[in-house]
Structure 1
Amino acid sequence: MESFKVLVLCTLLFHFTPSINTLQKIAPGQSIKGDETLVSPSETFEAGFLSLRDQYFGIWYKGLSPRTVVWIANRDAPLGNSSGVLNVTDGGNIVILDGTGFAVWSSNTTIIVKKPLLKLLDNGNLVVVEENNPEKFLWQSFDLPGDTLLPGMKLRSNLVSGDYTSLISWRDTQDPSSGLYSYHIDTKGLPQVVITKGGVLLFRPGSWNGNILSGIASKNLYKSFNFSFELTDKEVSYGYELLNQSIVSRYMLTSTGLVERFIFRDQVKGWQLFLAGPADQCDNYAICGANGNCDVTNSPTCECLKGFIPKSQAKWNSQIWSDGCVRRVDLACGKSDGFLKFTGLKLPDTSTSWFDKSLNLEECEKLCLKNCSCAAYANLDVRNGGSGCLLWFNNLVDMRKLTSGGQDFYIRVAASELDHNNGVKKKLAGILVGCAMFILTLIGLVVIILRRKKLKKEGRNQIINWKNHTDNKDKEGIDIPIFDLSTIANATSNFSISNKLGEGGFGPVYKGTLKNGKEVAVKRLSDNSGQGPKEFINEVELIANLQHRNLVKLLGCCIHDDERLLIYEFMINRSLDYFLFDENKRSLLHWPQRFQIICGIARGLLYLHEDSRLRIIHRDLKTSNILLDENMNPKISDFGIARIFGEDEAEGKTKRIVGTHGYISPEYATRGFFSVKSDVFSFGVIVLEIVSGRKNRDFLHHSDLDLLGHAWRLWGEERPLELLDESVGDTSTVSEVVRCINMGLLCVQERPDDRPDMSGAVLMLNGEKPLSRPKEPAFYPHQFGSSSRNCELPSTNEMSITLLDASTLITFNYIQSFEEYEPKQKERIMRGSD
């Protein structure tokens, strides 16, 4: 009887104990098939067969969902629908067989060993070792990179044979076969890391300067990663290690040609994008042509280096920069030439450079002067005060202004281009002008200081009154967390430039991490902001009383002396314009995503206009004020200049016009009238920009059409689909695209009464309301001679502009652009009539 019980117990254990399908190592005679996997010792990584569009053998992070694949063996030899088997031969060769026993992939190991073992290491490296010598790798997957560079892996280029390893992108997100893009080390001149497409250079992270690749601006990288760049007579290699082993990080080349660095965040149980490149249009290779410099904070973004002028002024004026710039004065090819020092720039393309590790900077300058083709020089290594010599010859290509970092380098110019060779008369004139300017500046500063003191006092009183009001918890007050300044300073690394996300009309925006790990965006009111305490209070009171999934969430504020800070939820995907107007990133916005964004903005506006307990006019709706969360859902932000309307109020009027050029409605720009239909106009512009991938303010077609006019012409000629951004590809739904274009044109009608309200716009988007035929949009060329054109003040960036009344002085940042405008228009602006 007892033996029967034991038998029953053993039978039950056999049936209810799960089978163990994970292995620690594979030896000859063993295999991996089906759902069997090989795991690393700490179970960080797992290797086995996986299904995408076909069957593959790959490596992925164990336990993460969705599965994150970092390497695939047979990426270009899929198994189809058959079941694969992985074997290790007696000689140490790895072989993948299909269902018929045919070998579809092999490691082609040339070294024959006794007692080979296949292991998966904790860094994700799949290795073949000898049982008696496990530290010596006879083969490793790190020598055959896929699309992901893991810590400890290195990209290598052989300087003798020319062979190199590279990251190769997937064909698309479900097809791991070799794609179009390659990330590798180019060995011409001074070796540098590049991204190419079919051999064509697209993006250049740059050459090594001793600390980091010269084209990378982020200083945060130093805190978490240890980068290495090793250059010998035979080989150059590049890789990185983690300084904090508790961090999980990967660096990958996407199927669209972007390089992205991710860090796994336990708080959200997912990957957070840490760094991406190309980051903006200035990262596009040679966008400004030879001897041109790119700066995304300027408009236009391209400028010639000092001492150079556009090769074709006409093309340059049309923002066609490919011809680049040429010297204003030819070099004398001798000692009379000199050098201008540049700082904070990405070093030019080093493929036509020469370098020497032993020379110092003074010797480098002398050597450059001896060669008539030498155009510039710099230190090879920036550490410990600088060392080595790097020379460039002929044209300088692919430079940009970096937000942080960069390196000093010296560009050769003719003697007449140097400031110190201007002659005695010019010096004397300069001194006199300088004295006059100093006196004027001093007077101006006194006026500004007195005015600022008055404004600060008024602002402090407004803040105190507002704070007392909210502290009393009046029924009309608000209940919002107040943060200490020290808490926000610690969260943003004391408002470090490396934490800066951007800048708007309110002031700079910083990324911060609170003590509980929550990431936030901090808006800091700037002293020279066009906004002040009134706008600060306005934004807090408005957004704190609004709750909608398509509005950004205010987490709190901070008031300390003159500091005024707004703390928002952090949007990992930044703003809509970050993707939409970038040649590379715009392809990430397929049509379903664009349509989702349009619908989300519409729902957010409908809430502001009709569904919230306050009736709100935003007044500064634009793509940079549409933030995107991790799922690319849109959230309307920036309510500093919004206005509340009463139930019986339909329209407001002001002499102080606020908003951004390209999005302001004509009745608001010319007469100061604003209403919900002003926001509808801005929404219509955004819709057409989302469809086309082009900015309204920068678009010119046949020199007389803005984007609205171009869309109208295509509509009238029954060719509306030609407006659609080509990068959308075949992901679009024709009926949705046409519906959006039709509705966008209805929203930008000149007369407010002809525009739909947002409830009608939402119904149109959903296909629940028929669309009428639009009329000619506002600002179409027949109106260019009218007052509607007068709103076009010079503006050098995307920040909000304020159009002041005639009694207000025009600020210098507007005056600096006047030479680009016709004399009559310039005269009108100086009189204050515009």
Structure 2
Amino acid sequence: MRKPLVNIMAYLPILILFSVWFLVSEIGLALENITNTRFLRDDLDTMESSNAIFKMGFFSPANSTNRYVGIWYSNQESDKLEVVWVANRENPITDSTGVFKVSEDGNLQVLDAQNAVFWSSNVSFEGNNSVAQLLDTGNLVLHSDDGDTIIWQSFEHPTDSFLPLMTFTIDESAGNKKVLFRSWRSPSDPSSGNFTVGINTLIPPQVFMWNDDRPYWRNAPWNGNIFIGKNTVLSIVNDNGGKIYFRFSLGNESLSVLQHFVVNFDGNLVQKQWNAGKWEIVWRALESDCNIYGKCGPFGLCSSKNSSICSCLNGFVPNNNEEWSKGNWTNGCVRRTPLQCVTRRGRADEFWKLRNVKVSDGAKWYPTNGVEEECKRQCLGNCSCLAYSYYSSIGCMIWNASLIDINELYTDGIDLSIRLAYSESGIANEQQQQSQQAKARKRNIILIVIVLIGTVTLAVIMGCVWRWMCQRNDVKKMSGKKTLLQNSKLKEGTTVETGDLQVFVLEKLAIATEHFQEINKLGRGGFGTVYKGRLEDNQEIAVKRLSKASGQGLQEFMNEVLVISKLQHINLIKLLGCCVEGEEKMLVYEFMPNNSLDALLFDPAHQKLLDWKKRRNIILGTCRGLLYLHRDSRLRIIHRDLKASNILLDENLNPKISDFGMARIVGGNQDQADTKRIVGTYGYMSPEYAMEGRFSEKSDVFSLGVLLLEIVSGRRNSSFKTEDSLSLVGHAWKLWNEDNILSLIDPTISESTFQAEILRCIQVGLLCVQELSEDRPSVSMVISMAENEVLNLPIPAQPGFTQRRVDFLNEAQQNGHEYCSVNRVSITSLSAR
């Protein structure tokens, strides 16, 4: 009975080898190269570069079943491939039977199961033993079997992507237009689209994008070092032998492969860079409408910083006033006064200089000996010359046709001298002379006035000096008294303890703020005014000076002193000291150069400074500061007045929570507390606090939710007072129920790249403002949700104050609670502890 077992054991190694061979043949391997005996099969094989930077194989675009052979970055998920080259882009295979191989004649081919050729490298060479290899640069190279001769390479046949270390040799004699890249037809179709990118080889060379055969975008000229107006990684070299070399290199080859250019199907050339596990767009050609070729028509100037981006050049007027006033600028401008060319009564045409621009397309280059005046003479001597420009590293450029596609660059541009009739330049000169005469008359009047009122001026100065000396003596008298912090009693038998907190004298703060001059005022609220100051050691400070009418008495003042002096966190404002002398009560904080969050967030002129990354950092920093107050500090503190104006921003736009005048300390095992005096800012108070006087950590979470929605939408909570929405919270809830929450997002951050993060923050904000406090998450849970640590977020319930405004006010009157006003300042009265 043992003999059959021995026979089976003898064949066991053969069975194991057969099984391994079967598995390998079925699963496939990542190939190092392709030969006429080693194929790349669909759904089985891929080919990787030596350091696994790039991968090659069969793929299907999004929402498509067609199969293509392509190259992509190997760090991508299978459903999010960053494809940089496609072989059979015009001829897809409709099933998964495709093979990529080296044919018998040595060419690369894409075949189907019936051996029909869908693509071929189609080159002729001696011999048929060739090898295909994918390099770490993303270049697919077909070379001889000994590796000495490169037969064909994908870098010479690009699709829509420009990879680092790509270099193109362009023969100037072949024409002035060289197409290098062509966009996909759509995200689902890699066939040739409408947009192409290439080089205009005229001097100076320029990068162009065409929509079919029409120019769509143009880069500023090449100055021999960079493209003017952009420190780009693209470079051009002219070897003075009739050839131009166009390449993309960052110097550090190990890093340069982690970014590339791609011309999108919708007509935008973008530069992408791998960062933090995803591709980010770090530059785009169409950053504004001014980047569209010829946006303002002939003789128009485009400036993205103006409300009406198009204007006519000096000496020109709109070609069609009615179209121009409606924002249709395509017909451009026409000259107001015709050029004379030849001198008339000794008066020739003049030039008006337009500074720092992307000069017009269509320039002709003229050799000069390095003198701008010679370039000007070249233009004046040619009656068809309309403008000239001299740039040291380019030379003399002259325009004989309509000036088009001129953009204001503000810095690093080229000066363009535009030819005008003498009468146009004469008007400008006459205006300048009149201005000089008016200035001379003003100087004479000023001298007469000084002589006449010299005595009065001297008297005024002496009076001011006397007043300043009196004020200084008063300050010295006040500073000689004992400070109220040292001898005042908040309650009978209880003295104030300042610990290590610095006590400033009034004279020192008066000098630091230049006696609280208006020019040093940073802001004003219900408590009083905040001034910027500078101490003797040049340290910048912010001085919060309480007004007598603020309603914040000594107890509220000392509450803020004692609370904030015990707090130390990177996201909480740092209190440097305080001052109480006579009737003056002041707090001295560290100075925040970027003011408060609301000053940037709700100002259309500054909103763009807060992109989504900065706003997300502000959200997370505020949450961490609030978590410290609730859980991590020695005192458990409820802030009770969290809002955008109480979030200050340092030089790096990092948030710091401020204004602790209304904060309350609760016991370590106490979940909530009650008060009979309601304080805070309308719109940020939770329902249970506003109507019943109950406050807790969840009432701060409600305020945090409102702040979250404001940061995402870029609008104040109080800016939605309509019949449909009582507030931003009600508006967001309405859009959520209508499945239209995308319309809430601030257009300045509405890039699709961050859409998922922004939508998550909106949902977290709605969870924070739910009507019932027990339904709201804790601050620690808010942080986990915002940082994607909680994958599946709960569905929010109805927020507070969306449909109960009348009931809320009636109940408030019946209960006898005091409520804050509807303006944006805080009421700073507190109940006794």
TM-score (norm 1): 0.54
Matching residue of 1:140: 153
- After superposition, where does 1:378-417 map in structure 2 within 5 Å? 378-379=389-390, 382-383=392-393, 387-391=395-399, 393-402=401-410, 404-415=411-422, 416-417=424-425
Residue 104, structure 1, aligned to residue 118, structure 2: yes
State the shift of 1:293 in Å: 3.2
Give the Cα separation in 2 of the matches to 1:680 and 1:428. 62
Q: In the alignment, is the contact (CA less than 8 A) between 2:770 and 2:798 conserved in 1?
A: no
Give the counterpart of 1:206 among 220, 225, 242: 220
Give the Cα separation in 2 of the matches to 1:72 and 1:81. 17
Give the counterpart of 2:69 among 57, 81, 85: 57
The residue type equivalent to 2:181 in the other structure is L
Q: In the alignment, is the contact (CA less than 8 A) between 1:207 and 1:214 conserved in 2?
A: yes
- Number of corresponding residues: 602
Matching residue of 2:364: 354
Give the Cα separation in 2 of the matches to 1:640 and 1:282. 40
Give the counterpart of 1:94 among 91, 105, 108: 108
- After superposition, where does 1:381-780 map in structure 2 within 5 Å? 382-383=392-393, 387-391=395-399, 393-402=401-410, 404-415=411-422, 416-417=424-425, 427-433=436-442, 533-534=541-542, 613-616=638-641, 618=643, 768-769=797-798
Give the SS at the match of 2:216.
strand
Give the Cα separation in 2 of the matches to 1:318 and 1:761. 52
Give the Cα separation in 2 of the matches to 1:557 and 1:643. 11
- After superposition, where does 1:196-235 map in structure 2 within 5 Å? 196-216=210-230, 219=231, 221=232, 225=233, 227-230=235-238
The residue type equivalent to 1:40 in the other structure is S
Residue 119, structure 1, aligned to residue 133, structure 2: yes
Residue 285, structure 1, aligned to residue 298, structure 2: no
State the shift of 1:149 in Å: 0.3
Matching residue of 1:748: none
Give the Cα separation in 2 of the matches to 1:199 and 1:652. 63
Matching residue of 1:47: 56
The residue type equivalent to 2:365 in the other structure is F
Give the Cα separation in 2 of the matches to 1:153 and 1:324. 39
The residue type equivalent to 1:239 in the other structure is R
Matching residue of 1:257: 267
Cα displacement string for residues 95-119 of structure 1 (whole angstroms, at most 9, x for unaligned residues): 1012332222222224554433322
Task: Using the TM superposition, name which of 256-265 and 157-166 deviates more.
Answer: 157-166
Give the SS at the match of 2:165.
coil
Give the Cα separation in 2 of the matches to 1:412 and 1:730. 45
Matching residue of 1:182: 196
Q: In the alignment, is the contact (CA less than 8 A) between 2:366 and 2:396 conserved in 1?
A: yes
C-alpha change, 1:730 and 1:338, in structure 2 (3 Å) is: closer
State the shift of 1:121 in Å: 2.7
Give the SS at the match of 1:378.
strand
Give the SS at the match of 2:100.
strand
Give the Cα separation in 2 of the matches to 1:761 and 1:373. 77
The residue type equivalent to 2:298 in the other structure is A
Give the Cα separation in 2 of the matches to 1:150 and 1:112. 30
State the shift of 1:366 in Å: 1.4
Matching residue of 2:208: 194
Residue 367, structure 1, aligned to residue 367, structure 2: no
C-alpha change, 1:358 and 1:68, in structure 2 (3 Å) is: same
Residue 81, structure 1, aligned to residue 95, structure 2: yes
The residue type equivalent to 1:367 in the other structure is Q
The residue type equivalent to 1:284 in the other structure is I
Q: In the alignment, is the contact (CA less than 8 A) between 2:572 and 2:658 conserved in 1?
A: no
Cα displacement string for residues 591-616 of structure 1 (whole angstroms, at most 9, x for unaligned residues): xx9xx99xx99x99xx99x9993244
Give the Cα separation in 1 of the matches to 2:607 and 2:186. 22
Give the Cα separation in 1 of the matches to 2:575 and 2:329. 44
Cα displacement string for residues 357-386 of structure 1 (whole angstroms, at most 9, x for unaligned residues): 55643332212122334232224x643xx5
Give the Cα separation in 2 of the matches to 1:689 and 1:162. 47
Q: In the alignment, is the contact (CA less than 8 A) between 1:27 and 1:88 conserved in 2?
A: yes
Structure 2, unaligned runs of 5 or more:
451-456, 476-496, 502-520, 523-531, 535-539, 546-559, 577-588, 631-636, 665-674, 683-699, 721-726, 778-793, 806-824, 826-833
Matching residue of 2:29: 21
Give the SS at the match of 1:92.
coil
Give the SS at the match of 2:179.
coil
Cα displacement string for residues 283-319 of structure 1 (whole angstroms, at most 9, x for unaligned residues): 2333344334334444444444444455566766665
Residue 35, structure 1, aligned to residue 60, structure 2: no
C-alpha change, 1:773 and 1:650, in structure 2 (3 Å) is: closer
Cα displacement string for residues 516-556 of structure 1 (whole angstroms, at most 9, x for unaligned residues): xxxxxxxxx999xxxx9439999xx99x9999xxxx97999
Give the SS at the match of 1:208.
coil
Residue 341, structure 1, aligned to residue 353, structure 2: yes
Q: CA RMSD in A?
A: 6.9
Give the Cα separation in 2 of the matches to 1:474 and 1:11. 85
Give the Cα separation in 1 of the matches to 2:83 and 2:121. 19
State the shift of 1:640 in Å: 9.4
Give the Cα separation in 2 of the matches to 1:132 and 1:275. 42
The residue type equivalent to 1:614 in the other structure is H
Q: In the alignment, is the contact (CA less than 8 A) between 1:368 and 1:377 conserved in 2?
A: yes
The residue type equivalent to 1:362 in the other structure is E
State the shift of 1:85 in Å: 0.5
State the shift of 1:214 in Å: 3.0
C-alpha change, 1:119 and 1:730, in structure 2 (3 Å) is: closer
C-alpha change, 1:2 and 1:720, in structure 2 (3 Å) is: closer
State the shift of 1:187 in Å: 5.6
Matching residue of 1:491: none
Give the SS at the match of 1:166.
strand
The residue type equivalent to 1:121 in the other structure is L
Give the SS at the match of 1:82.
coil
Cα displacement string for residues 752-791 of structure 1 (whole angstroms, at most 9, x for unaligned residues): xxx999999999x96744998999xxxxxxxxxxxxxxxx
Structure with max Cα Rg: 2
Q: In the alignment, is the contact (CA less than 8 A) between 1:555 and 1:567 conserved in 2?
A: no
C-alpha change, 1:387 and 1:51, in structure 2 (3 Å) is: same
C-alpha change, 1:757 and 1:281, in structure 2 (3 Å) is: farther
Give the Cα separation in 2 of the matches to 1:31 and 1:393. 57
Give the Cα separation in 2 of the matches to 1:178 and 1:410. 41
Give the SS at the match of 2:249.
strand
Task: Using the TM superposition, name which of 420-429 and 358-367 deviates more.
Answer: 420-429
Matching residue of 2:667: none
